[in-house]
Amino acid sequence: MRSIFCIFFFPAFLLGGVFEDQVVPILERSCLKCHGGDKTKGKVDFSEILTEVDAGDHLDLWETVLEVVELGEMPPEDEKLLSSEEKKKIRGWHEEFIKLPVEIAIPVFRPRRLSANEYKNTLRSLFGFDLEVGIARAEQTESGEKSLVLKILPPDPPGKSGYFNDTYSTPLSSSLLENYTYLAGVSLDRLFSKKGKESLSRMIGQNGDWDGKITPSLAEEIVRSFLPRILRRTVPDERIKAVLDPLKGKQGKELVSVLMFELKTFLISPEFLYRGFLAKPSGKKGRQAVDPFELAERLSYFLWEDMPDDELFQSARNGDLQDKAEVGRQVARMLAEPRARNLSESFGVQLLGLSSIDDQIKNNPIHLHAMRTQPRDFLHYLFTEDRPVMELLDSNVTFVNQSTSGFYGNDRRRLAPFHKPRGIERQRTMNQRLEIKDAEGRGGILTMPSILSMNHGPILRGTWMLRTILGVRLGEPPGDVPAIKPPPRGKKMTFRERFEAHRENVTCARCHEKIDPLGFALDGYDKNGRYLLASYHKRGNQPSIDTSGKLPSGEEFKDFEGLKHILITKKRDQVIRNLTSQLLSYALCRKLGRGDQSVVEAISRKATLGNLTWKDLLIEVANSVPFRETLFSQSEAK
């Protein structure tokens, strides 16, 4: 059964079967050999696109399909090329398809397993402590994983959306359940030990004089306090009674043992391990608002990657979350909380691919820590201090420490002095907020040293900018791409000049006309992210660095500053639309489909015209129809 159902229907049910009757046979005849089933070159699988509704869920793919078909690049040379009539059918269908009015489509409701990070954070919020690996480590230099949860649980693969919280395709398995059972046991053992006394005291409202003994009345208090937090909603009295009954007549260690068993049963249940497992329809079938506790859960895992706190629970119990103004108030409050750091650590890191920094810096944990934290602290600043969305690309604020300050010239003189402790040769230091005044070639995420170093070279930089900032879909490069030829003996040539010959290949040129102008605009920065042009002097017959370019859409620029101006003005709509799309996809934990596009367009238009801030954008997403509503199947509604 498909996961997306359209609530509204397009005229004559889309194009009356044109796609199925005319386009699908062409795909089956000419494309499935390389792009279907077991073979999916370029991560394109046409065997999953059998109807026009399927095609609407892959809107970004069709622009590329039309481009390669028109240029004759696909099918490949050893296959029969498409006839003019076949190309006309595909082009004609697409032209009519994109003109169709699109109403909002809501997914059929599906519970989703907590991601590893969500589970880790939820355990910490439940118990009041972190489970950490019990090994000695050098705190100032060690960058290894400390969390026992993340050591034991397998990493989540990115889902169809590209985000790790999209866990629909990786449900609960027997081995995963064993891991959860172990972690639940470790957590409960600690909670009811001397180490957990403080956390348990807070849970049941005991003062510092409590001796730590569990009496029957305290056991009942623990159940009544803990169960609603485990299930992330109010719990009916009969459900609580079913847990309390086995405790009757028990005392001392036996009471604690039975209590731990009952709690552990809930901690390894789908009701805890899955988001939305207890969400209930209102009694009618079809599209409807999610219940208040489900909405609270969606908000907290979106912004915090964690369970709701007491205030959010109370707002759900009172029914206040039904009011969009209350959602806006809660978002503003939640962004001011420490847990909002997870938005930059999760969404921000995945959006920008910041984990790639780890692959570029080896054997230097101090520098790696600095390069890791700079863009994350910058994103946290944008998300939580109500900064305009486009400051992602153009900002006079950055965050630096002793390891990254050298990239910012005289501006680093305004940093607070750092005094190294005696006896420590090297030490990680916290980032300081720095206003950029004199540093040339800096400002915004694109010129951050870590971004430049993880994308060293014009091709990687241009590709990253296209995909991440502009949201342009690029297929995988052909497997037989020739190497860039060295310059003729005795002739000095820049990489850009040598690369011109490479672009003569028609297949390569199609992508490189989009990639190269962006990538070479950043050629004034070396592989480590240092700005070469700040102290560049022409020597002998060494060619100067050419950072000029022309975009496929016709805009020309002389240097990177010119390109950045184009991005924040003429390309502003495209940038904001891409960021909105990515944020909505992350919030919904799924890949967006055609039915989501009207929501993306509406939010993007409002963000562009109103110069919205990141907080505004987050509120718009949280109050959007697909975030606040769902679709229960007929069987669930019964």
Cα distance between residue 425 and residue 366, in whole Å: 11
Asked whether residue 359 falls in the same domain as residue 304, the answer is: no
Q: Where are the beta strands (DSSP E) in 302-440?
A: 397-400, 432-435
Phi, psi torsion values for 236, nearest 5 degrees:
-60, 150
Beta strands in 422-512 (DSSP E): 432-435
Lookup result for tokens 């209102």: 282
Residue 473's pLDDT is 80
- Determine, yes or no, domain membership for 595: no
Closest CA to 156 of 213, 118, 122: 118
Kindly report the three-state secondary structure assignment for every residue of 85-107. HHHHHHHHHHHHHCCCCCCCCEE
Name every residue whose Cβ is closer than 8 Å to that of residue 175 and which is 6 or more positions away in sequence: none
Q: Which of 252, 275, 298 represents a domain boundary (last residue)?
A: 275
| Structure confidence by residue, pLDDT tens digits, 601-637 | 999 999 999 999 999 999 999 999 999 999 887 555 5
Claim to verify: residue 521 and residue 416 sit in the same structural domain: yes
Give yes or no: residues 433 and 317 share one domain.
no
Q: Which two tokens stand for residue 233?
A: 């909603």
Same domain (yes/no): 333, 352: no
Residues 133 and 94 placed together within one structural domain of the fold:
no
| Residue 603 domain flag | no
Q: Do the Cβ atoms of 18 and 93 come closer than 8 Å?
A: yes
Cβ pair 446, 465 in contact under 8 A: yes
CB 86 within 8 A of CB 574: no
- Are residues 357 and 494 located together in one domain of the fold? yes
- On whether the CB atoms of residues 386 and 333 are closer than 8 A, the answer is no
| Bond prior to 75 in cis (omega within 30° of 0) | yes
Tokens representing 93?
């269908």
- Cβ within 8 Å of residue 364, ≥6 positions away: none
Position 601 in a domain: no
Considering the domain architecture, whether residues 507 and 449 belong to the same structural domain is answered as yes
* Residue-by-residue DSSP string for 169-200: TS---HHHHHHHHHHHHHHHHHHTSGGGHHHH
3-state secondary structure (DSSP) of residue 110: coil
Last residue of a domain, one of 553, 568, 583: 568
Asked whether residue 578 is domain-assigned, the answer is no
Report how many domains make up the chain.
4
Q: Which of 518, 522, 478, 521 is nearest to 502 (CA)?
A: 478
- Which tens digits make up the pLDDT trace of 333-375? 999 999 999 999 999 999 999 999 988 887 888 999 999 999 9
Burial state string for 321-345 with b = 16 or more CB within 10 A and e = fewer than 16: beeeeebbebbeebbeeebbbbbbb
Residue span of the structural domain in which 47 resides = 4-103
| 163 and 293 housed in the same domain | no
Of 275, 299, 318, which marks where a domain is finished? 275
Q: Name residues of the chain where pLDDT drops below 70.
A: 1-16, 37-39, 42, 60, 67, 70-73, 77-78, 99, 101-102, 135-144, 419-426, 475-485, 490, 493, 498-499, 501-510, 534-543, 634-638
211's tokens: 């001796």
| Same domain assignment for residues 357 and 477 | yes
Cβ atoms of residues 604 and 580 within 8 Å: yes
In a domain, 256, yes or no: yes
pTM of the model: 0.86
In this structure, are 293 and 235 located in the same domain? no
Residues pairing with 132 in the sheet: 147
Report, in this order, helix, strand and coil percent for the chain, each rounded to 5.
Answer: 55, 5, 40
Give CA–CA dist 198/191, Å, rounded.
9
